[in-house]
Amino acid sequence: MRTRQWIPALLAAAALLLPVLARADVRIGFVNTVKLMEKAPQAKAAIAKIEAEFAPREKEIVALQREIKKMEEKLSKEGPLLSEEKRHQAERKLITKRRELKRRQDEFREDLNIRRNEELSRLQKQLYNAIVKFAKEEHYDLIVSEGVVYAGKRVDVTDRLLERLRKEAGK
């Protein structure tokens, strides 16, 4: 019963404080983190690093795919002319190569995903730190990102952050 008596008093106090809070000088900014992730030079550098790291393995996989295709073509052309034993040997060799290809593709995909996640995590930490540093230096009280329906140009600080990240990447 006593809690019901406090509810009107709390509501009245909150109603009295709202105009005071509304007049407070609060600086709010919005950051489009998706745009930062796409356009920041640090993100582009991370992508280039991963591509360079995995390019040799990708070339090996493509070469193996070509080899298998040639083996298949050769088997389809020459298969009827070969003895049964030679044809079975060629088929077994082809099956072995396909298994090897599948294994290499699976390992490649798994390793690539692991590295991509590592770089993404590192990049997210880097962007977070840049946003916090920006907010403190520019005296923002609140920076929001995900889940915003609309952010006007006055509060959207994404381009300013991008410029800072470009300068930092140029160092």
Q: What mean pLDDT do residues 128-139 have? A: 90
pLDDT, residue 108, reads 97
Contacts of 131 (CB under 8 A, 6+ apart): 31, 143, 161
The pLDDT tens digits for 58-67 are 999 999 999 9
pLDDT, residue 96, reads 96
Q: What mean pLDDT do residues 81-88 have? A: 88
Least confident of 15-29, 44-58, 68-82, 157-171: 15-29
Query: 147: pLDDT confidence band, cut at 50, 70 and 90?
Result: confident
pLDDT, residue 146, reads 82
pLDDT, residue 1, reads 47
Q: What is the pTM of this model?
A: 0.68
The pLDDT tens digits for 2-12 are 555 665 655 55
Residue 158 has pLDDT above 70, yes or no: yes
Q: Which residues of 13-22 are buried (b: 16+ CB within 10 A; e: fewer)?
A: eeeeeeeeee
Domains of the chain: 2-170 (3.30.910.20)
Q: What average pLDDT is seen over the chain?
A: 85
